[in-house]
């Protein structure tokens, strides 16, 4: 989930120009960072990406880390170098067999300075280049190394950046007099709109003057790659008047939802009709997703099943364990980044079984989008905060709209206005947050379409407010969880008008002394937030927005790092 940058330029540039690009990738990890240049700068530090020593150079690589193998220390930060210091690398991914490789290299006299799996890459090439050239060394690396990787490698006295990938994302940006390698296009979208996207098991030699691509299949074979012109946000708008990106992005939800609705009616109408036809030609639909996107997928299953379409949702990391696929199955991937490794691995090879792939993504030209037969862009725009807010809303809007093509009735067109109306209750939600900041546990209960919302609200409370929260089916309370309800335990009940079962479940926790908070589109004699919903889809979205605002204000009250919660990153590119 780390972010990597490499630049080869005809003209000199400043080291902190690289750092500015790296900062745009910080959502991928912010435990530590580092940079190495061809003019001798080698710096790495623990913490968020920040300015480094001034240094003019024509070649540089840099890295922002989300720790996997090895603790968050300066020694474990990237870049990593060989024993002689001639080879320097940055790496995104996980080398599964690094201990075996490390033992082999140590036996040959290599000394390691870090606990990471990544450092073995620098020593591996130092060892192999004693007896062969770079291309043959890369062939051996592809053959021997297990795991996922996107690697940038530079050598003293060499103007080339050597780069290769398997699993982890990598893209080459073509700018004026400069070639830029990065984990995704956002790193350089303010400099160029031309890119070459790496596919699996590809190797490239990149200099200021050009590049050569190769495909690995037991050996490297020259490959011609197409330059693609892309459209994506060229610059980050900043937090504007908001203290945190999370709050800014919640307030952007009405605009983002309206943009998506218009897009599905016009620019993406053909894609939506193509997806509808794919569903009609399939026996069943299986969603694959992780985290917040999985909760959106559960709502998609509910909406489609109500429209008479057999649908299921499987967590991406367990996809192959809990589903059967055949040529009558349509798999729909839902992923904000389009680079979630668990999702990508679930999709690998299934086209060969006759399975069609569709997707809902937010980042164009991502791996999942390129793997799909048809892909719908959810048009949420750049999301900086780790917590998914407007992307979740737009995923649900898109899935509800899809179900409407099969007759599922909803008022999705009114969603932007309804979110705006709900946002006017923010002060009331903020007051509620002040009373919840010190609680240890929160339970959120729902039934039917509100159950996925309960899980999503719980996820937000865990990842941003650091509160143990459990989102669950109201009917499951009596099968264990009631034993945990004590006097004053907060229970948030998602209570759509007319749902008598969830009212009964709420009474059950009230009888055990729970502090009941109701989110409903009707009036009840409880501490409550009333939402302006008239249908299932709008209730799902608006109740979630209540949870987002509540989480934000609890975290702010606790003085937590709202946009960059501990131990997490935005894009999950490791398994």
Active site residues: 2, 570
Helices (H), 31-133: 98-107, 119-128
SS3 at position 550: helix
* Residues composing the chain: 575
Contact (Cβ atoms closer than 8 angstroms) between residue 518 and residue 495 = yes
CA distance 244 to 382: 14
Q: Which of 325, 310, 239 is nearest to 279 (CA)?
A: 310
| CA 455 to centroid of chain Cα atoms | 18
Q: Do the strands 194-197 and 171-175 form a parallel or antiparallel pair, or are they unpaired?
A: antiparallel
SS3 at position 126: helix
CA distance 575 to 572: 8
Cα distances (angstroms) measured from residue 417 to each of 145, 256, 424: 53, 12, 11
| Angle at which helices 292-306 and 536-557 cross, to 10° | 160
CA distance 384 to 26: 9
Residue 367, C-beta contacts closer than 8 angstroms, at least 6 positions apart: 169, 338, 339, 344
Over the range 343-373, which residues count as b (16 or more CB within 10 Å of their CB) and which as e? bbbbbeebeeeebbbbbbbbbbbbbbbebbe
Half-sphere exposure of 461 (CA within 13 A, CB side): 28
- DSSP character at residue 79: P
- DSSP character at residue 269: H
Helices (H), 134-280: 134-144, 245-251, 253-265, 269-280
In the sheet that holds 441-446, the strands lie side by side as 468-473, 441-446, 490-495, 515-520, 527-530
Quote the longest CA-to-CA distance of the chain: 79
Q: Which of 41, 110, 119, 105 is nearest to 76 (CA)?
A: 119
Q: Looking at the DSSP assignment, which residues form a beta bridge with residue 63?
A: 4, 34
Contact (Cβ atoms closer than 8 angstroms) between residue 481 and residue 443 = yes
Q: What share of the chain is helix, strand, coil (3-state, %, to 5)?
A: 35, 25, 40
């Amino acid at each position: 989930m780390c972010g990597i940058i490499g630049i080869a330029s005809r003209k000199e540039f400043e080291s902190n120009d690289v750092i500015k690009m790296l900062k745009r990738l910080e959502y991928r990890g912010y435990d530590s960072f580092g940079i190495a240049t061809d003019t001798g700068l080698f710096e790495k530090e623990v913490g968020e990406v920040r300015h480094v020593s001034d240094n003019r150079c024509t070649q540089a690589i840099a890295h922002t880390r989300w720790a996997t193998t090895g603790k968050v220390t300066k020694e474990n930060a990237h870049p990593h170098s060989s024993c002689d210091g001639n080879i320097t690398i940055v790496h995104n991914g996980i080398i599964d067999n690094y201990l075996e490789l490390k033992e082999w290299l140590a036996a040959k006299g290599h000394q390691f300075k870090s606990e990471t799996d990544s450092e073995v890459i620098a020593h591996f090439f130092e060892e192999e280049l004693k007896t062969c050239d770079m291309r043959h060394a890369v062939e051996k690396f592809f053959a021997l190394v297990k795991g996922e990787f996107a690697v940038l490698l530079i050598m003293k006295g060499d103007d080339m950046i050597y780069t290769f990938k398997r699993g982890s994302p990598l893209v080459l940006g073509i700018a004026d007099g400069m070639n830029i390698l990065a984990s995704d296009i956002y790193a350089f979208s303010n400099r160029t709109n031309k890119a070459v996207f790496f596919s699996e098991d590809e190797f490239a030699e990149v200099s200021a003057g050009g590049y050569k691509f190769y495909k690995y299949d037991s050996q490297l074979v020259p490959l011609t790659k197409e330059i693609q012109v892309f459209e994506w946000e060229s610059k980050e708008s900043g937090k504007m008047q908001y203290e945190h990106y999370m709050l800014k992005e919640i307030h952007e939800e009405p605009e983002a939802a309206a943009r998506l609705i218009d897009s599905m009616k016009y620019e993406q109408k053909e894609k939506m009709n193509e997806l509808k036809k794919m569903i009609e030609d399939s026996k069943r639909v299986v969603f694959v997703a992780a985290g917040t996107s999985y909760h959106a997928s559960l709502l998609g299953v509910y909406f489609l099943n109500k429209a008479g379409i057999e649908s299921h949702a499987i967590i991406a990391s367990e996809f192959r364990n809990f589903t059967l696929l055949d040529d009558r199955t349509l798999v729909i991937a839902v992923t904000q980044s389009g680079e979630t490794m668990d999702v990508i691995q679930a999709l690998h090879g299934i086209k060969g079984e006759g399975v069609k792939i569709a997707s809902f993504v937010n980042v164009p030209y991502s791996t999942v989008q390129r793997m799909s037969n048809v892909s719908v862009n959810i048009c949420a725009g750049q999301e900086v905060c780790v917590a998914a807010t407007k992307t979740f809303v737009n995923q649900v809007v898109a899935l509800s709209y899809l179900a409407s093509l099969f007759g599922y009735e909803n008022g999705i067109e009114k969603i932007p206005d309804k979110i705006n109306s709900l946002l006017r209750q923010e002060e009331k939600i903020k007051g509620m947050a002040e009373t919840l900041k010190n609680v240890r546990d929160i339970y959120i209960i729902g039934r039917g379409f509100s159950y996925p919302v309960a899980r999503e609200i719980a996820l937000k409370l865990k990842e941003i407010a650091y509160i143990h929260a459990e989102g669950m089916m109201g009917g499951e309370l009596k099968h264990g969880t009631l034993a945990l309800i004590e006097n004053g335990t907060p229970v948030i009940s998602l209570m759509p008008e007319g749902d008598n079962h969830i009212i009964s479940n709420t009474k059950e926790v009230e009888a055990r002394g729970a502090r009941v908070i109701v989110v409903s589109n009707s009036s009840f004699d409880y501490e409550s937030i009333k939402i302006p919903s008239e249908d299932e889809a709008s209730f799902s979205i608006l109740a979630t927005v209540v949870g987002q605002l509540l989480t934000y204000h609890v975290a702010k009250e606790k003085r937590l790092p709202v946009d960059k919660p501990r131990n997490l990153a935005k894009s999950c590119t490791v398994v």
